[in-house]
Amino acid sequence: MKTKDLLAISEEFGTPVYVYDAEKIESQYKKLTSAFKGVKQLKINYAVKALSNISILKLFKQLNSGLDTVSIQEVQLGLAAGFQAEDIIYTPNGVSLKEIENVAALGCQINIDNLSILEQFGTKHPGVPVCIRINPHVMAGGNANISVGHIDSKFGISIHQIPHILRIVENTGMHINGIHMHTGSDILDVDVFLYASEILFKAALQFSNLEFIDFGSGFKVPYRAHDVETDIIELGRKLTKRFNAFEKEYGKPLTLAFEPGKYLVSEAGNFLVNVNVVKQTTSTVFASVDSGFNHLIRPMLYNSHHNIVNISNEIGRERFYTVVGYICETDTFATNRRISEISEGDILCFKNAGAYCFSMASNYNSRYRPAEVLWYEGKAHLIRKRETLDNLLEHQVIIDLKQKAVIEN
């Protein structure tokens, strides 16, 4: 997308607004599938939690992707987008047995990550195929908040509890058709990923009727200029060779599965905001915008970096700004960041705003969640309307407190 397109979108749809570039999503998807073209059976399941707009899901359906879901609501969104149940894997954490049973009744692939639910589900539904999520105890990624494969993680069944799993499978007669891991996000070192994969291969040998092995995702994308990212080509070359060798060792065809989210949509996203106020204090120049952590919480929650570009004045003289929001809390997007000179009314663009941005937005301070736009084949398509006061009130029940007091008296 070009700057003039983003400016036109901000003019047509207002700010704040999320804009997603379909061409970038498609190129990331094709880059990943191309890296693993040497695998006979490859399955990419897009992680819905990264960006769950139904139009985005329809785009992935068009690319022949499956879906990775973590809630029954995400499953229902996937079905509404046209996915078949068999193309949806459901990997919840800490949910009730009832929710898992409801998803299984829809025909989706179930992925269970704790011994208690595994035994309960296997006892009641031994004929339903189940995948098992293993925790390989591998610390991956640079941020403990997004690394989920370490020994103290709430996710997955410990690799050391394989004997417990085998006992449950034997006692219930349940059918284990897949084995899965996800170590976390921002995995840069290909060798760390391959090391965790070896643990999963070893575990897979304990189950004789597997149909697929799911290696999760967590591939790192660049956030800054000249930033490093996961070498997908190298990973594809090395893991393809190892997977094909393991398939022969296992003695039957297997599907290699991934569940990328951030890798597919992060770089496709742009978040456009308007500068409300430029405020000079004794030591800082603040650029305050018409958004806050209610719309983009990642910088405050994870200390994540998003490049910020003044697309109204891209070639202007750079100055140092602290970019903040309009929430009645500390909601700092960036501190002392070099940005082309900012004036009130300018449009700023936050890069890498495709993953875990809108999907984590809220109505804090009773602010409306923003609009979403998909840039597809050279045109801007509104895929979510900006919220209104009616949206804030529609689920609230208004009672007549005075009347209630009279009744009680």
Residue 297 has a pLDDT of 96
Locate 403 and state its tokens.
């009347």
Q: Confidence class of residue 408 from pLDDT cuts 50, 70 and 90? A: low
What pLDDT, on a 0 to 100 scale, did the predictor assign at position 147? 44
pLDDT at 178: 98
Q: What does the alpha-carbon distance between residue 200 and residue 281 come to, in Å, rounded to a whole number?
A: 55
Confidence at residue 405, expressed as pLDDT on a 0 to 100 scale: 56
DSSP sequence for 211-250 = -EEE----B----STT-----HHHHHHHHHHHHHHHHHHH
Length in residues, the chain: 409
Q: Residue 185: which region, alpha, beta or left (left: phi > 0; alpha: psi -120 to 50)?
A: beta
- pLDDT for the residue numbered 225: 82
Flag whether pLDDT at 144 surpasses 90. no
Q: Which CATH entry fits the domain spanning 269-393: 3.30.200.20, 2.40.37.10, 3.90.550.10, 2.30.180.10?
A: 2.40.37.10
Q: Where are the domains of the chain?
A: 36-260, 269-393
Query: Model-level pTM greater than 0.75?
Result: yes
**Does residue 395 carry a pLDDT above 80?**
yes
Range with lowest mean pLDDT among 77-81, 107-111, 182-186, 333-337: 182-186
Q: How far apart are CA 378 and CA 22, in angstroms?
A: 10
Is the pLDDT confidence value at 143 over 50?
no
pLDDT at residue 140, rounded to an integer = 56
What is the pLDDT, as a whole number, of residue 226? Answer: 84
User: Residue 139's pLDDT is what?
Assistant: 63
Residue 186: pLDDT over 80:
no
The CB density around residue 155, as the number of other CB atoms within 10 Å, is 20
Q: What integer best gives the mean pLDDT of the chain?
A: 93
The CA distance from 409 to 404, in Å, is 9
Domain 36-260 in this protein, CATH class? alpha beta
Lowest-confidence segment of 181-195, 254-268, 308-322 by average pLDDT:
181-195
Judge whether residue 146 has pLDDT over 50. Answer: no
Cβ within 8 Å of residue 279, ≥6 positions away: 285, 286, 288
Query: Is the pLDDT assigned to residue 141 strictly greater than 90?
Result: no
pLDDT at 404 over 90: no
Query: Quick one: average pLDDT of 313-321?
Result: 96
Q: Which residues contact 5 (CB under 8 A, 6 or more apart)?
A: 375, 380
Point out the least confidently predicted range of 29-38, 109-118, 121-130, 139-148. 139-148
Average pLDDT over residues 271-297: 97
What pLDDT is recorded for position 182?
82
Q: What is the per-residue pLDDT for 151?
A: 57
- pLDDT-above-90 percentage for the chain: 85
pLDDT of residue 150: 47
Residues known to be catalytic: 328
pLDDT-based confidence at 383, cuts 50/70/90?
A: very high
Using CA atoms, how far apart are residues 196 and 101, in angstroms rounded to an integer? Answer: 30
Half-sphere exposure at residue 338, Cβ-oriented, CA atoms within 13 angstroms: 5
Q: How many Å apart are CA 318 and CA 340, to the nearest integer?
A: 4
Average pLDDT estimate for 59-86: 98
Separation of first and last alpha carbons in the chain: 65
Whether the upstream peptide bond of residue 126 has omega within 30° of 0, thus cis, is no
pLDDT at 149 over 80: no
Number of other residues whose CB lies within 10 A of the CB of residue 359: 15
Query: pLDDT confidence of 152, banded at 50, 70, 90?
Result: low
Residues 324, 291 contacting (CB under 8 angstroms): no
Q: 322 and 336 in contact (C-beta within 8 Å)?
A: yes
